[in-house]
Amino acid sequence: MAVTVTTPTRMELARLKGRLRTAQRGHKLLKDKRDELLRRLLDTVGEVQALRGRVEEELMGIHGGFTMAAVLMGGPALEQALMYPTQRVTLHVTVQNIMGVHAPRYDLEIHTGDSGGLLPYGFAATSGELDDAVEALRGVFPAMMRLAEGEKTVQLISREIEKTRRRVNALEYVVIPNTQQAIRYISMKLEEAGRATITRLMKVKEMLLEQSVVHHKALDTQALERLREEE
């Protein structure tokens, strides 16, 4: 955005200097924010990558457990055993502020039904592999929530970094240079006006001196004429 200077006055110069100081402070704060967000992003990405590897490994093991249970019990028997769950899960979502980024926070609350049982089936017609797989699946839920938090946080921080980067570039390459250019323009115009004023004053002084000399000469001539008349 180019700075349009309407009238090169000292008031406009003071206003632009104040705007320049504000833009420079904002530029520094935004750069600090961008750098801190980048640091947070790198830390979060590292945590997410490690957590993703662990969750994927556990899910692969759980999948193997369900597969083995299906082989031992048969697919229809496995589906029937898991058809009526005795527990339900409530997901609570809160927000945490990270340098202006509203990152989500997920918390699971597990509710057990009236029967009070943890498993939706009896032990007589099921295999131990199914018990292990169901228990492992319950255990991996918190890590999955942390992984979802981390991935969403990475996404939001990346967007905020991009927005902050655009603002920093706008200040650094548009607003600040244009304001500095306008300040130089007004300062140059004011200096030219000052030199022109000094030149006019010197000219007026010369004219006044010339008039004063002429006036004194006229007075001297009149005085000489009076002296001659008196003689």
| Residue 43 placed within a domain | yes
| Residue 189 placed within a domain | no
For position 114, what pLDDT does the model report? 57
What six digits make up the tokens of 199?
């030149």
pTM of the model: 0.72
For position 28, what pLDDT does the model report? 95
Average pLDDT of 165-190?
Answer: 92
| Residue 102 placed within a domain | yes
Check pLDDT > 90 for residue 52.
yes
| Residue 110 placed within a domain | yes
Contact between 25 and 166 under an 8 Å Cβ cutoff? The reply is no
**CATH code at position 71:** 1.10.287.3240
| Stronger pLDDT, 229 or 173, i.e. the higher one | 173
Quote the percentage of the chain above a pLDDT of 90.
41
**SS3 sequence, the chain?**
CCCCCCCCCHHHHHHHHHHHHHHHHHHHHHHHHHHHHHHHHHHHHHHHHHHHHHHHHHHHHHHHHHHHHHHHHCHHHHHHHCCCCCEEEEEEEEEEEECCEEEEEEEEEEEECCCCCCCCCCCCCCCHHHHHHHHHHHHHHHHHHHHHHHHHHHHHHHHHHHHHHHHHHHHHHHHHHHHHHHHHHHHHHHHHHHHHHHHHHHHHHHHHHHHHHHHHHHHHHHHHHHHHHHC
For position 124, what pLDDT does the model report? 58
| Stronger pLDDT, 122 or 16, i.e. the higher one | 16
Average pLDDT of 61-86?
Answer: 80
| Residue 180 placed within a domain | no
Return the residue matching tokens 């935004």. Answer: 30
Residue 98's domain comprises 26-170
| Residue 196 placed within a domain | no
| Residue 31 placed within a domain | yes
Average pLDDT of 196-206?
Answer: 79
| Residue 96 placed within a domain | yes
For position 211, what pLDDT does the model report? 74
pLDDT band of residue 166 (cuts 50, 70, 90) is: very high
Our count of domains for the chain comes to: 1
Distances (CA, A) of 215 to 146, 205, 218: 98, 15, 5
